[in-house]
A and B are shown apart, each in its own frame.
Chain A
């Protein structure tokens, strides 16, 4: 097609890395946040077990969606990983503390 100089190639590989990293963060990191949030909601929502579990599950997809949008809106892809992993470990810690 067009002759590609090495600078351009470098940029492409950077961009590809950026996108792959974000996609992985969105799919797996996002799920981790949603899953931990789901588990957390189930024990902190003050309802009967079956009801709080239901509510938590119903809400979890909204959390997942928000996390994914977040991944694609922060400046650097490593920031996305930091936020998601930080948030999910925080949630997990609270789960361990509460139960």
Chain B
């Protein structure tokens, strides 16, 4: 392509990185938030902040289960399924939920969840409508406002770009160890390059892992060809065999009494080796053709596929022991997916995953800032003579402002909307999501007209201070506050508040940095408020000219 392989890869790295980096940033951002999906969901439902959180208690399972069954048969008699979820580390409360019969033309019914209070006698039924952490989880691969299938192809396409950017990045990074230890502050594009190198190299194994496993999670959609050749075009058979899941249970329409679920407990405990139960699902309750599926709490096991132990719900016969088929390929596949989702990780490991995700965001952001910075240097002269910056540069700078400064603000707006929108609003959950995108759109509109440092500082100040005020918001709009949560050891809620403050403070710190950068520039020049560096430095690693 260019004179040599090294140069070609440099070119490839720049363009592959630049073309989709804003979508990638959105994906990385949402994915990083998803590590704390359940904690975010809990925070967005302040009705559950008091007297709800509890640990799994094996000795209480029997009484909990019989109460659950009584409750569900009273309140959800005609449901499509019942789900009794026991407290786990990630979802630390007991809940009864059910899916109503789907309306004509719909595949799924409405999902209703009632949460049981500590002491088990009262049930919270009026939890506000909110997507919570699931919003970010879905945003990560389904994006928004478009069919999931199209979104997943877009995400896959961008992931492939990411993989290529990583590989070509490694190739061009000859001095990987030397650069790793050098960080030159306040040196304009040289500093952006160093920041890009540090955030990329430090978490490189993570970046490679997360990109490849991301592709693997949806590989049956992207690369169905293996199933097509191996199963003669019958991809359904492949999926059936892979998931080891029995076909859907269709109700017969004859009513039959559901077995007392507690009578299954001894058998379950024996099969599970007395390990905690995560969830019990009764499909088609009250019908003759009804099943009880029991799921183990996989805890910190790496291969955490959701495999059900299945009973007949009328006579209680064991239909499927739910033992996973054990093979190298299956286990590899499960491990790759588990590595991506990090479901197995405890608090410390999860935090490291989160930090690596943040580094991924930093890698993408610094990469595109570096590009914008260098192009602006190239056009320095023309701009100073009063010419406009090129369209490409204006576009990149606008998108940078929208996504880099805008995403934290949009997330913060989402949390505020969650607490401030009227509780009984129609489509409330959707309006929370809308407010996220409205915030992003407003910044994009501003970026169409003005992309100066002053705008950056303004947006950063707004998102920084609004994030710092999150504990205050929480205290005012829920029945508890940070101190009380610390007292009651509600670490999910405490962690959320503190994390918001920490991120808010770092954003304000970044804003201060921008302020000092502006002061150092000579005054009275037209471009004085623009992000630029007067010293043009040869950046060897990205131009490929080895010094």
Contact = CB atoms under 8 A, between A and B. Distances in A.
Interface of A: 1, 18, 22, 34-36, 38-43, 47-58, 60-62, 64-65, 68-69, 72-74, 95, 99
B327 A51 contact: yes
A44 to B, nearest CB: 10
A36 B11 CA distance: 28
A67 to B, nearest CB: 10
Given A22-B1, A57-B223, A43 B229 contact: yes
B223 A99 contact: no
Given A58-B336, A69-B12, A72-B11, 19 more contacts: A39-B229, A42-B227, A47-B327, A47-B329, A49-B230, A54-B332, A56-B230, A57-B220, A60-B219, A60-B225, A61-B163, A61-B216, A65-B164, A65-B167, A69-B164, A69-B167, A72-B12, A73-B1, A99-B229
Contacts of B230: 42-43, 49-50, 52-53, 56
14 contacts: A38-B225, A41-B226, A42-B227, A42-B230, A47-B327, A47-B329, A54-B226, A57-B219, A57-B220, A58-B336, A61-B219, A65-B160, A65-B163, A69-B168
A48 to B, nearest CB: 7
Interface residues of B, number: 37
Contact of A55 (B1, B168, B329): B329
A20 B1 CA distance: 12
Interface in B329-362: 329-330, 332-333, 336
A65 to B, nearest CB: 5
Interface of B: 1, 5, 8-9, 11-12, 160, 163-164, 167-168, 212, 215-216, 219-220, 222-223, 225-232, 238, 241-242, 327-330, 332-333, 336, 382
Contact of A54 (B8, B222, B228, B333): B333
B163 A95 contact: no
Contact of A50 (B1, B168, B238, B382): B238
Contacts of B215: 61
A36 B225 CA distance: 7
B333 A61 contact: no
A61 B225 CA distance: 12
Contacts of B5: 73
Most buried by A among B220, B222, B242: B222
A54 B330 contact: yes
Closest 10 CB pairs of A and B: A42-B226, A56-B226, A51-B329, A39-B229, A39-B225, A53-B226, A42-B230, A53-B230, A57-B219, A54-B329
Contacts of B333: 54, 58
A60 B226 contact: yes
A51 B325 CA distance: 11
A40 B219 contact: no
Nearest to B220: A57
A89 to B, nearest CB: 15
A35 B225 contact: yes
Contacts of B11: 72
B229 A68 contact: no
B382 to A, nearest CB: 8
Nearest to B212: A61
Given A51-B330, A52-B226, A72 B220 contact: no
